[in-house]
């Protein structure tokens, strides 16, 4: 009987040691030590979470409500801040014009234009967006991949936030 107790105690110590070693090797909980772009519902529920290391960027793309073509606002994680870098406007349609003194307008070679050098930090690293219907299809574009926010939260408010450690 004594032998069984020592055997079980030894196994328990070994199991505890392995568990502790696993925690040390695993490090902090995933996502806590890296910056990420989070889109959350008005209730604070995360809808999209993407790693967003220093220097990486993403765009918010949507279809213009009148003309239907894609419009882009492009951001970058710069020095722990969400920064609006540039916007792409394929036409001078309603509401889409360059404001003198805010970046510089450059032709895209296809009849539209980029507004470059905006370099506007987003206050608080976050902004609210009323997500459009599927016709508008607000979407995140990261590394050429598109995530439709309209499929997740059409006609609802969300917050886009750059969370930094």
Q: What's the pLDDT at 19?
A: 37
Q: What's the pLDDT at 66?
A: 72
Q: What's the pLDDT at 80?
A: 97
Q: What's the pLDDT at 69?
A: 84
Beta bridge partners of residue 113, listed in sequence order = 89, 107
Q: Find the Cα–Cα–Cα–Cα dihedral 8, 10, 11, 14, rounded to 10°.
A: 160
Q: What's the pLDDT at 90?
A: 79
Q: Let me know: does 30 contact 51? Beta carbons within 8 Å.
A: no
Q: Let me know: does 67 contact 91? Beta carbons within 8 Å.
A: yes
pLDDT digits over 120-140, tens only?
999 999 999 999 999 999 999
pLDDT digits over 9-35, tens only?
444 443 343 333 333 333 344 445 799
**For the chain, which residues score pLDDT lower than 70?**
1-32, 91-101
The residue whose two tokens read 């939260």 is 153
Q: What's the pLDDT at 98?
A: 53
Residue 134 DSSP one-character state: T
In this structure, what token pair is assigned to residue 165? 């450690």
- The total of other beta-carbon atoms located within 10 Å of residue 99's CB is 8
Q: What's the pLDDT at 33?
A: 76
């Amino acid at each position: 009987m004594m032998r069984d107790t020592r055997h079980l105690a030894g196994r328990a110590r070994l199991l505890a040691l392995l568990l502790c070693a696993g925690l040390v090797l695993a490090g902090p909980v995933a996502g806590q030590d890296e910056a990420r772009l989070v889109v959350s519902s008005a209730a604070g529920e995360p809808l999209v979470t993407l790693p967003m290391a220093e220097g990486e960027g993403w765009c918010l793309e949507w279809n213009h409500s009148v003309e239907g073509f894609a419009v882009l606002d492009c951001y970058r994680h710069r020095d722990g801040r969400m920064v609006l870098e540039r916007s792409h406007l394929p036409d001078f349609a309603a509401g889409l014009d360059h404001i003198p003194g805010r970046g510089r307008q450059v032709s895209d070679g296809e009849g539209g234009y980029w507004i470059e050098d905006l370099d506007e930090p987003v206050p608080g690293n976050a902004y609210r967006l009323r997500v459009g219907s599927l016709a508008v299809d607000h979407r995140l574009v990261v590394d050429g991949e598109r995530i439709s926010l309209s499929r997740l939260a059409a006609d609802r408010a969300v917050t886009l936030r750059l969370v930094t450690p």
